A and B are shown apart, each in its own frame.
Chain A
Amino acid sequence: MTSSAVREVGVAAPAAAPAPPAGRGRRRGRSDLGWALVFVLPLFVGIALFYLWPIVRNLWFSFTEWGPFGDSEWVGLDNYIELAGDATMGRAILNTLGYTAMLLCGVPLAIYFASLLNRPGLRFANLFRTAFFLPYVAMPAAISMVWRIIYNGDFGILNYALSLIGIDGPAWLSTEGVALVAVALVGIWISLGFNLIILSAGMKGIPVELYEAASLDGATRWKQFTTITVPLLTPSIFFVSVMTVIAGFQVFDLLYALMGTQNPAIDKTQSVVYYFFTNIKTGDNGYAAAIGVVILLLVGIFTVLQFRLQKKWVTYV
């Protein structure tokens, strides 16, 4: 946000400076309006119709209750009061927070792999990058099919591998408490490639001279990593963390595709978005709308929190 503002000033200043006094600037302002309408209006009509208006409307829906034939009735804060005492919703929020926390554990892993990929003189870097990125492009609904088999309690590969070292693994996806961890592991597996690419691009921006100077001073690789790489990478780490939190709060695809709708553990494992989806499917639209507003508040609170905390640990050069 700040960098774009800076750039805007940077671009606007030279464009305005050579303009001769009075007339021209104003004339241009007038002539641009026509073109601006042609360029912006088609997009803005769509944005207003499909996003801005629905946001307002959803807020209104959250104060209503819906009958079976799509008729709705104003109930004030009833939905929110019900949500406040809804144990399933409480559980769903905790699950979503837990899932997001686990997903964040993938960030250090991505930093580590990115630092390996960015080593000078490393060969096959492109091949490794492709391999790590593959899960990110795969359709979650489709790749979940394989993970269901890998996680299967009876014939899954994971439990077979564990049995080789004497561990008796659970039915990963249908055991309460365990299922969320299993889903999060797939979530980390998918997001690792994206995080890796962003972090690796950030690492390329760190001047080589810093490392040369450090190694002349006798700093070990680990010392260089902790005193140069990580501090200078904090803007990228911050970006990746914000994206991870947003993705974590949105988790639906993986839960739906991995666990299925008939899973006995789904009630105790579902996320807020999953609960939203369930209410839509059963026609409880007012309640679903209120859940949507709660998700908005949660994402808002956590994004603000992250931006506040950022001042404490992110270093911009």
Chain B
Amino acid sequence: MSKRRIGARESNTIAYVVLTVGSVVMIFPFVWQLIMSLGTNADVISIPPSFWPSEFKPENYLNVFDRVPFLSQFWVSVGITVIRTVGQLVLCSMAGYAFARMYFPFKGVVLALILAILMVPPQVYLLPQYQIIQGLGWLNTVIGIAAPGIFSAFGTFMMRQFFMGLPPELEEAARLDGANQFQIFWKIMLPLAKPGLSALAIITVLWSWNDLLWPLIVATSAESMPLSAGIATLTSGRTITDYPMLLAAAMMAMAPVLILFLIMQRRVIDGVAFSGLK
């Protein structure tokens, strides 16, 4: 017995080494970005590479506000993320519950139509979506960027699977007490659905904040873009001259989600694992 335990500890040493090396590779770009965003351009382009600024320039972060309409892009990102997340939580949980527990005509057909979308790559509906947004006069608006993402086939499917896993006895009891469908949903099922709801919220926040292709199509003016598109257009066209400022801008763009993740890492990871298992 003791021999086996020693054996296990020995081979775990290798695991620690490999995992540590892997973790360093994963984290290095973030750390290096943070350090270099505080340095000078000469630091970034120095040969051999430097790993510490020759001179600290925190004002790189302030310069971002001169070069990019950062604040308005930040609020666009917040806006589309909040609208999509709240919208999906409400619509997907209600529809998911109905598909899991209610009886109505054509239920199977309607569900199949919604699930079929999961198989269709976004490029197939982007262009007509663009025309609809254009027709509604919503180009370059927060609601225009957020709108299609409010309605999620994936979220509906996920919530349906979740509700199907909950015991039906609870509803039967409430129904006998005279509660209607909405009361059962609101007072009994929704509180039980918190793990599913938080997983859906996490995925929607990540996806909305980082989404790039659709905002690049709908938003053409810099002020109306979310941060993802703002950063991408800032760095994609012309030759780069001020690396530290760009690194600072990129840092600021991804910081909210990174901080949120670091605070709630357990929940985020469990939520994503949850969505994958369904």
A residues adjacent to B (C-beta < 8 A):
4, 7-8, 11, 14-15, 28-29, 32-33, 35-40, 42-44, 46-47, 49-55, 57-58, 61, 113, 116-117, 119-122, 124, 126-150, 154-157, 160, 189, 192-194, 197-198, 200-201, 215, 221, 239, 243, 246, 249-250, 252-253, 256-257, 260-262, 273, 276-277, 280, 285, 288-289, 291-293, 295-296, 299-300, 303
Contact = CB atoms under 8 A, between A and B. Distances in A.
Contact of A239 (B45, B95, B247, B276): B276
A251 to B, nearest CB: 11
Interface of B: 4, 8-9, 11-12, 15-16, 18-20, 22-23, 25-27, 29-30, 32-33, 36, 44-49, 91-92, 94-95, 97-100, 102-105, 107, 110, 113-114, 117, 119-132, 147-148, 150-151, 153, 156, 161, 164-165, 168, 180-182, 185, 206, 209-210, 212-213, 216-217, 227-229, 231-232, 235-239, 243, 246-247, 250-251, 253-254, 257-258, 261-262, 265-266, 268-269, 272-273, 276-277
B213 A201 contact: no
B229 A149 contact: no
A143 B23 contact: no
Interface residue SS majority, chain B: helix
A280 B129 CA distance: 13
Contact of A150 (B29, B105, B269): B29
A134 B8 CA distance: 29
A277 B213 contact: yes
Contact of A142 (B27, B238, B243, B254): B254
Nearest to A205: B277
A213 B23 CA distance: 33
Interface residue SS majority, chain A: helix
Given A50-B129, A277-B217, 7 more contacts: A117-B19, A139-B250, A146-B32, A148-B235, A189-B25, A239-B276, A288-B123
Contacts of A140: 210, 212, 228
B3 to A, nearest CB: 12
A138 B91 contact: no
Interface centre among B121, B148, B217, B272 (most CB of A within 10 A): B121
A78 to B, nearest CB: 17
12 contacts: A32-B103, A47-B153, A116-B18, A119-B12, A137-B257, A145-B235, A146-B32, A193-B26, A200-B273, A288-B123, A299-B119, A299-B121
B250 A43 contact: no
B249 to A, nearest CB: 8
A161 B117 CA distance: 46
A150 to B, nearest CB: 7
Contact of A35 (B26, B102, B216): B102
Contact of B29 (A147, A154, A257, A291): A147
Given A40-B95, A143-B254, A51 B125 contact: yes
A93 to B, nearest CB: 14
A268 B12 CA distance: 45
Contacts of A262: 236-239
A308 B121 CA distance: 20
Nearest to A47: B151
A42 B89 CA distance: 13
Contacts of B16: 122, 124
A32 B102 CA distance: 6
A183 to B, nearest CB: 14
Interface centre among B120, B148, B180 (most CB of A within 10 A): B120
B164 A11 contact: yes
B86 to A, nearest CB: 13
B240 to A, nearest CB: 8
A303 B119 contact: yes
Contacts of A137: 206, 257-258, 261, 268
Nearest to A194: B272
Contact of B15 (A116, A157, A249): A116
Given A29-B104, A35-B98, A299-B121, A143 B236 contact: no
A145 B268 CA distance: 25
A32 B175 CA distance: 13
The 4 lowest CB-CB distance pairs between A and B, nearest first, are A54-B128, A46-B151, A54-B125, A131-B23
A129 B262 CA distance: 12
Contacts of A154: 45, 47
A293 to B, nearest CB: 7
A131 to B, nearest CB: 4
Interface centre among B44, B110, B209, B247 (most CB of A within 10 A): B110
B114 A253 contact: no
A44 B27 contact: no
A57 B156 CA distance: 24
B124 A295 contact: yes
Nearest to A31: B181
A110 B232 CA distance: 29
A252 B253 CA distance: 19
A129 B232 contact: no
Contacts of A44: 95, 110, 114
Nearest to B25: A189
Contacts of A198: 273, 276-277
Contacts of B185: 39
